[in-house]
A and B are shown apart, each in its own frame.
Chain A
Amino acid sequence: MAKITVDGTEYETQEGRTILQALDELGILMNGVDIPHYCWHPKLSIDGSCRLCQVEIEGVPKLQIACNTPIKDGMEIRTQTAPVKEAREGVMELLLVNHPLDCPICDQAGECKLQDYAFEYGVEHSRSREPRRAGKKNVDFGPTITFDQERCILCRRCVRFCREVPGTGEIGVFGRGDHSALETFPGLELDNPYSMNVADICPVGALTTKDFRFKIRVWFLEDVPGICTGCSKGCNVWLGTANNKVYRYVPRRNDAVNETWVCDDGRMSYRHIGSADRLDRAMVRGELGVLEVTSVDDAVAAASERLRALVDAKGPGVVGAVASGHGTNEDLEAFVRLLDGLGVENRGLATVQGESDELLVQAEKAANGEGARKLGFGDAAGVLDRLNTGGLEALVVMGHDLLDAQHLGGIEGLERLDTLIVLDSHHSALERVAHVVLPARHAAEKAGHFTNHEGIVQAVAPAVEPAGEAVPEAEAFDRLAAALGVAGEDAA
């Protein structure tokens, strides 16, 4: 342990850290202790080049950069003295000597560290009368990122990110002095599964994502904490919302889960929330043999009638249940209560499997497969085998991941069912054979918990209004249980 004093307040910290690392660990960096910085990033190697984080240390004649100065027991650090402020003003003025100052047309405006720090730590007037350095505009860096050379302050966070995190190293700073420029290496484009993170860590408007740029001014966005549901990692994200719409995901720091990153596929999965294929009305197969839109109440009643009749006639053994990893723990618990109430034992879990990597991306493409398994849902193979051998007459299905399950002998296997009840947030081929369809909410529209692949339980809260009449699955199951008369006292 080492004791350090920052602006008169004493803190205890571990040895072997630099000043910024120690303050970051204590959770007070830019959150009580203001040491502005550009090139330093908690999850990247130390660069030491922006020179903005200079602080005064008792007994050291020159200012020192807080990012690279190791703490020592008894170290006294001052962050708000006149020399420190003067050094910050110097850096800010010099950074702005060649900056185009095009904030009105820059998409970063509003979340730009150059803007923020210029106001906070800079000087009001520019003394530069010289022509500003001209650079390339709208450079196509690859499938996801557009680069503006004039705005770049050469902090090289993006360069270090590409080298150190995905390990692809497609970009570098070429040239020297004030003609240095960020570029992709010859013959390469910035194209890796994590490429869009460079836009998040870029402190200025140099690197922006093609997906989000010019969609909306960021000051109209409300950032709501949430979880990416693209895979079982459960990366923490901010949902940028406005007009009851999610405009983007950006990673939210959680050192236990995703550090400060999110993969590009996960990031783009925000598009599923308000997509055109959302299932937003309940449907019941009518006398004409087609699904007809109806109210959730009627659909619950229809489902209840069908299940009641079947269970009463043939017992719960002919009923199967397939859970989804897209439901919250609360949804899945309600499902368990319903199935327990009915005495249904044929239960399983269907999740889509895909690519994985060693960084974040998990093979299981659902946020809560682990939560479902913890609640007793094993692989759906057993249920599907029973279905294939004709042992099932009814199936209650969450989501449509079932369609990808190995043992499902095509959708035809579902056609002979007497009753197929589907709860889903999106339209799918299941509707061709379903008898009752209930609209479910997306994770961004409900409260609950997800258990990630490592067993870490994370909460979500509604970020936007639900699509149409979509209900949380938990509510749908509880209403169904009540209609069936199998609701326990808790659920009621």
Chain B
Amino acid sequence: MLTVPHTTNYLTEHFGDDAFTTLEGYRARGGYEAAKKAISEMSPADVIELVKDSGLQGRGGAGFSAGMKWSFMPTDGDQPSYLVCNADESEPGSYKDRILLERGGHQMLEGILIAAWATQADTTFIYVRGEYAFPADQLDRCVREAYDAGLLGENIFGKGFKHDVVVHRGAGAYICGEETGLLESLEGKKGQPRKKPPFPAQFGAFGMPTTVNNVETFSHVPHIVKNGADWFKGFGTEKSPGTMIFGVSGHVVRPGLYELPMGTPLDEIVFEHAQGVPEGRKVKGVIPGGMSMPILPAGMLDVPMANESLRERKTMLGTGGVMVMDERTCMVRAACVITYFFRDESCGQCTQCREGTGWLNKIVERIERGAGSEGDIELLLDVCGKMEAKTICAFADAAAWPVQGLLRHFREDFEEHVRQKKCPFPESFEL
């Protein structure tokens, strides 16, 4: 058996230590040993096998197997191939990548280096959300330190392996977090998702084979290489191994980031770690994984935070951004905020998304104003149905799901608005 100590916070364990953000401090904690091991002792295929075996799921929202994704990269051919690190964290309610960039820059870079070896990629582009100025500065420094130490550039670890890292700052669009929207933006074009096929593994950044992974996904990789797949599978659930950083926000006593094993029950996160709602009020609903995931009502929080279990409750893990709303919350107002966001952020390419997001927003705002009518709820559901699974990217789905979730569990809120011809929640947050 493995002798590595079981810790439930391997990602964030040293985040309280300023030295950990520097190369020196990171190496003092064993940093870059995993990369050295991978590049010196393992073949790229071995690394991919290991990561596949670990069951690491992408932490950017879709939860696809990271090792599997890497295996799609062509190994033959003489054209360059690229990795992209998606640090365009923009999902409302999600702020886990920010801490990983600010406090664990080298940890992520080491993961990138290992992934680069595994996929034999030439360059990694780290696309950082434009608003993340401080994290991007930290990352710039880390990259510089890594180059100076020979951990990036030519002949890494004396093994003839060459890899470059470019930090690219975005300009503030949610849709640039969608992997092909990101690639367009990276290339200097308007951030609009690409139709598929072709897929990024064949035609990605600048037309070259490309794999896009999330900040957190890369950050797990050194730990897997260091400690093995079995160690990793020791955390979390059978299908969703490892830990995840859950970002709790909203009506809780202790909002913040909590690194916990996948499958930690949602109610444990809300009531134990975040210590529940202040002033003894009750929870009304919780969005489990960032704003685009359907909400769960107070009675359904006894669910492990893993995709396999959340799907049974018609929601998903997403980015692990847990948003708690207390009993005073008007769910129609919540719908107004959510639909406004998606209306504003839709890239505008696909008909259903461009027109549907706006229409949803106009309808819920009308209901909130007290001007709703009988058929509006059915109309909302119908428009959601017209948007779902019919567009280039998943944005339209992400805009429809939360509305469907609110109507599934809080339909009476909407009906009450229509009946009373006004908002019946005077104590709710203001729009």
The residues of A with any CB-CB pair to B shorter than 8 Å are 46-52, 54, 62-63, 65, 68, 70, 87, 90-91, 93-95, 97-98, 127-131, 133, 153-154, 172-173, 175-180
Contact = CB atoms under 8 A, between A and B. Distances in A.
A129 B362 CA distance: 9
B352 A180 contact: no
A47 B343 CA distance: 21
Contacts of A49: 195, 349-351, 392
B351 A177 contact: no
B359 interface: yes
A250 B320 CA distance: 56
A176 B390 contact: no
Contacts of A172: 190
Contacts of B353: 177
Contact of B351 (A52, A128, A131, A175): A52
B355 to A, nearest CB: 4
Nearest to B365: A130
Nearest to B376: A129
Contacts of A91: 351-352, 386
Top 6 closest A-B pairs, CB basis?
A90-B386, A178-B358, A180-B348, A48-B195, A177-B346, A94-B355
B197 interface: yes
Given A51-B390, A178-B346, A94 B195 contact: no
A112 B120 CA distance: 52
Given A62-B389, A130-B366, A177-B343, A50 B351 contact: yes
Contacts of B195: 46-49, 65, 68
A177 B344 contact: yes
Given A68-B197, A127-B379, A154 B348 contact: yes
B379 A51 contact: no
Contact of A95 (B349, B355, B358, B379): B355
A486 B385 CA distance: 80
B345 interface: yes
A262 B52 CA distance: 56
Given A48-B195, A54-B390, A154-B354, A177 B363 contact: no
Contact of B358 (A46, A50, A90, A97): A97
Contacts of B356: 94
B293 interface: no
Nearest to A38: B351
B155 to A, nearest CB: 41
Interface in B209-240: none
B85 interface: no
B197 A178 contact: no
Contacts of A70: 197
Majority secondary structure of chain B interface residues (helix, strand, loop or mixed)? helix
Nearest to B363: A130
22 contacts: A46-B195, A47-B195, A50-B350, A51-B350, A65-B195, A68-B195, A87-B386, A94-B352, A94-B356, A95-B351, A97-B355, A127-B375, A130-B366, A154-B349, A154-B354, A175-B348, A176-B173, A176-B175, A177-B343, A178-B355, A178-B357, A178-B358
A153 B350 CA distance: 10
B358 A176 contact: no
Nearest to A65: B195
Given A93-B386, A94-B351, A154-B348, A178 B363 contact: no
B390 A180 contact: no
Contacts of A47: 195, 349
B347 interface: yes
A67 to B, nearest CB: 9
Contacts of B363: 130
Interface residues of B, number: 34
A62 B388 CA distance: 10
Given A47-B195, A180-B348, 19 more contacts: A49-B195, A49-B350, A51-B352, A51-B391, A90-B352, A91-B352, A91-B386, A95-B355, A97-B359, A98-B358, A154-B348, A172-B190, A176-B173, A176-B348, A177-B344, A177-B353, A177-B358, A178-B343, A178-B354
A173 B350 contact: no
B348 A173 contact: yes
Given A63-B390, A90-B386, A98 B355 contact: yes
B390 A90 contact: yes
B345 A176 contact: yes
A173 B348 CA distance: 9
A87 B386 CA distance: 7
A94 B359 contact: yes
| Listed residue (B345, B348, B356) with the most chain A CB atoms within 10 angstroms of its CB | B348
| Listed residue (A52, A133, A154) with the most chain B CB atoms within 10 angstroms of its CB | A154
Contacts of B383: 94
B347 A176 contact: yes
B384 to A, nearest CB: 11
Interface in B382-402: 383, 385-386, 389-392
Nearest to A175: B348
Nearest to B357: A177
B352 A177 contact: no
B58 to A, nearest CB: 21
Nearest to B383: A94
A431 B379 CA distance: 74
Nearest to A178: B358
A68 B196 CA distance: 8
| Listed residue (B344, B348, B351, B359) with the most chain A CB atoms within 10 angstroms of its CB | B351
Contacts of A90: 352, 385-386, 390
A197 B386 CA distance: 33
A478 B89 CA distance: 81
Contacts of A130: 359, 362-363, 366
A98 B345 CA distance: 18
| Listed residue (B197, B358, B366) with the most chain A CB atoms within 10 angstroms of its CB | B358
Contacts of B359: 94, 97, 128, 130
Contacts of B390: 51, 54, 62-63, 87, 90
Contacts of B350: 49-51
Contacts of A46: 195
A46 B348 CA distance: 16
Contacts of A127: 375, 379
Contacts of A51: 350-352, 390-391
A241 B190 CA distance: 43
A117 B359 CA distance: 21
A176 B346 contact: yes
A99 B390 CA distance: 21
Given A68-B195, A93-B386, A127-B379, A48 B392 contact: yes
A156 B244 CA distance: 41
Contacts of A129: 366
A179 to B, nearest CB: 8
Nearest to A177: B346
Contacts of A173: 190, 348
A177 B195 CA distance: 17
Nearest to A18: B197
A180 B190 CA distance: 12
A335 to B, nearest CB: 56
Nearest to A181: B348
Nearest to A153: B351
Contacts of B347: 176-177
Interface string B143-154: 000000000000
B348 A94 contact: no
Contacts of A95: 351, 355
Contacts of A48: 195, 392
B342 to A, nearest CB: 8
B164 to A, nearest CB: 31
A89 to B, nearest CB: 8
Contacts of A50: 350-351
A133 to B, nearest CB: 8
Contacts of B386: 87, 90-91, 93-94
